[in-house]
Amino acid sequence: MERFYLTTAIDYVNGTPHIGHAYEKIVSDVIVRHYKQRCNDVYFLTGTDEHGIKIQKTAAERGITPKQMCDEHAAAFKDAWKKLDIDYNQFIRTTDDYHEKAVQKIFEKLLAQGDIYKHSYTGLYCSGCEVFLNPKDLDENGCCPIHNRKPEEISEENYFFKLSKYKDAIIKHIKENPDYIMPAFRANEVLNQLENIEDISVSRTKDNVSWGIPVLSDDNQVIYVWIDALSNYITALGYDVDNCPEKFEKYWAESHHVIGKDILKFHSIYWSAILLALGLPLPKQLFVHGFININKEKMSKSLGNVISPQSVMEAWQLEEPDAFRYYMATAAPIGKDGNFSDEDFKEKVNVDLANNMGNLLNRTLSMLVKYFDGEVKPEFKGNNPIDALNVIDKVEEHFDKFELQEAAAEIVTLLDSTNKYVTNNAPWTLAKEEKMTECGQVLVNVLETLCIVSALIQPYCPNLADKMAQQLKFDLSVKLDDLTDDNIKVGKLISKEEIKPVFLRLDSEFATNKK
């Protein structure tokens, strides 16, 4: 694999970041960091969606302009991702000048070629979703199933996109490319939705929505979300109809979208059709994740259980986000809903990161110092019965299917078997019996394995991995395919003063009172 381009959904800035936003960004960042270990050219895009009626109304209620509110909330999202070590290459805002100009050109191109037409329309509009709904989309009470309120009946003359024109081509693509939508069960959902697909509104009148990108050829209309927000994935790369720059040509063919299940229809159908109309290839994959519930309940403002990633960090006094990143990235199997609870959070990170990993490293290095003054002798190097290299292949296979929970489970299993290896071989007993070569071999075998572990855990826990690598004198920049089981160098490895805990238990007195 030469290149890898990954995008997240862009977050709507009518509010500030919550744990659901954080879940998607953490999952995406973990995927990106993993692929950086496998190829040299990786590009990661995220950003914010900043137009629409909700922003217009909320800003008016606060007595500020929509742009002022967008600036404020976009800064909050950037700050949140910085605290979570989300290492993106580009942060796009749909109010960016280059994006707005490119979107206007895209709209005019589709209009000129007959894929957009003007039409009077009366429909049921959900301001929460910012979408017109069909009666069949509503629940038994006539409400939007996502926002639990009845949509408003609106009559407008808008521009419509000929979505139905591309129905057959989308169906064909999904059936011929079984990996296009992951997990696979979501593809069947999309095929069912395509059966009764209709053309969609892609503009709003300025009388109803003034906060949007103006249609160049019609002063009374603004461009609606589907062409505005969805186009960010290509405008970020410089695409603007008249220009396909090197950056676009370089990355678009290797594009992967990470999205929530609630916006699958818009990406798999609407966005696919827009790309086909533009004569552009479809993305390689759509990875569709589930939601994060709080204590097994759906997040809801009415329930008062919407929490921010910052509040979790503060509640647990986390100076680094690794524990939260690890928990969130492993919270759910591919495509399924996950759950966050304080009790489960503490238990999982303490078992996996503090006990299985951190304690194993600390006690192994401590024994190396105690018995050998921290020195690795030539006779300690040899055949390692712990098959850590095989786990690299397993982890890569899971990441190729976006199975982050399963990939992490392979790492934990490797740690479990390594801890059992220590127990079964008892280096402390070997030292007592003066079998020093055998004792040293056991310790070095464990340390060699922990070098591999530090590389594999790095996408989830970059700070923890770096601390492990420093104590092991291991180069984390080595590509996964170039890793060997010969990473520990002969000679002085570490002194007593250099051995420090790489991860503290969340309930430890030291961890909860550190300055």
What confidence score (pLDDT) does residue 134 get? Answer: 78
Contact 284, 35 (CB under 8 A): no
Identify the active-site residue in 54, 70, 129, 267. Answer: 129
Query: DSSP assignment of 260-299, as one string?
Result: EGGGHHIIIIIIHHHHHHHT-PPPSEEEEE--EEETTB--
Give the pLDDT band of residue 98 (cuts 50, 70, 90).
Answer: very high
- Those residues whose C-beta lies under 8 Å from the C-beta of residue 315, and which sit 6 or more positions away, are 342
Phi first, then psi: give them for residue 217, nearest 5 degrees.
-95, 5
Which residue did the predictor score with more confidence, 387 or 25?
Answer: 25
Question: What CA–CA distances, in Å, run from 240 to 97, 162, 224?
Answer: 12, 21, 17
Report pLDDT digits (tens) over 477-514: 999 999 999 999 999 999 999 999 999 898 744 333 33
CA 345 to chain centre: 19
Identify the active-site residue in 36, 54, 73, 126. Answer: 126
Ordered by where they begin, the domains of the chain are 3-289 (3.40.50.620), 342-512 (1.10.730.10)
Phi first, then psi: give them for residue 44, nearest 5 degrees.
-125, 120
pTM of the model: 0.92
What confidence score (pLDDT) does residue 302 get? Answer: 67
126 is catalytic: yes
21 is catalytic: yes
- Is the confidence at residue 127, as pLDDT, over 80? no
Identify the active-site residue in 18, 25, 34, 381. Answer: 18
Give the pLDDT band of residue 448 (cuts 50, 70, 90).
Answer: very high
d(CA 101, CA 371): 68
The amino acid that residue 34 corresponds to is: H
What confidence score (pLDDT) does residue 511 get? Answer: 38
Contact 339, 331 (CB under 8 A): yes
Which residue did the predictor score with more confidence, 60 or 131?
Answer: 60
Section 452-466 average pLDDT: 98
* Strands lying side by side in the sheet with 213-215: 203-205, 218-223, 213-215
- Is the confidence at residue 284, as pLDDT, over 60? yes
What confidence score (pLDDT) does residue 43 get? Answer: 98
The amino acid that residue 408 corresponds to is: A
d(CA 460, CA 442): 28
User: 317: which 2 tokens?
Assistant: 């006094």
Report pLDDT digits (tens) over 318-374: 999 999 999 999 999 989 999 999 999 999 999 999 999 999 999 999 999 999 999
> Helices 388-400 and 19-36, interaxial angle, to 10°?
120
Query: DSSP assignment of 182-246, as one string?
Result: ESTHHHHHHHHHHTT---EE-EEETTT--SSEEETTEEEEEE-HHHHTTTHHHHTTT--SS---H
Percent share of the chain, pLDDT over 70 = 98
Contact 372, 440 (CB under 8 A): yes
> How high is the mean pLDDT of the chain?
93
**Three-state secondary structure along 354-385?**
HHHHHHHHHHHHHHHHHHHCCEECHHHCCCCC
129 is catalytic: yes
- Is the confidence at residue 380, as pLDDT, over 60? yes
Q: Are strands 338-340 and 292-294 parallel, antiparallel or unpaired?
A: parallel
Identify the active-site residue in 136, 296, 301, 515. Answer: 301
User: 453: which 2 tokens?
Assistant: 């572990």
- Those residues whose C-beta lies under 8 Å from the C-beta of residue 335, and which sit 6 or more positions away, are 182, 183, 185, 186, 261, 288, 289, 290
144 is catalytic: yes
Cite the beta strand spans of 73-173 per DSSP E: 90-93, 116-126, 131-133, 152-161
User: 405: which 2 tokens?
Assistant: 């929970």
What confidence score (pLDDT) does residue 241 get? Answer: 92
18 is catalytic: yes
Report pLDDT digits (tens) over 147-161: 788 888 887 899 999
What confidence score (pLDDT) does residue 515 get? Answer: 29
User: For residue 117, what are the β-bridge partners?
Assistant: 160
301 is catalytic: yes
Identify the active-site residue in 82, 119, 175, 298. Answer: 298
Report pLDDT digits (tens) over 396-440: 999 999 999 999 999 999 999 999 999 999 999 999 999 999 999
What confidence score (pLDDT) does residue 298 get? Answer: 86
- Is the confidence at residue 78, as pLDDT, over 50? yes
- Is the confidence at residue 138, as pLDDT, over 90? no
Shortest CA distance to 348 belongs to which of 326, 377, 363, 316? 326
Identify the active-site residue in 70, 144, 439, 461. Answer: 144
d(CA 267, CA 24): 16
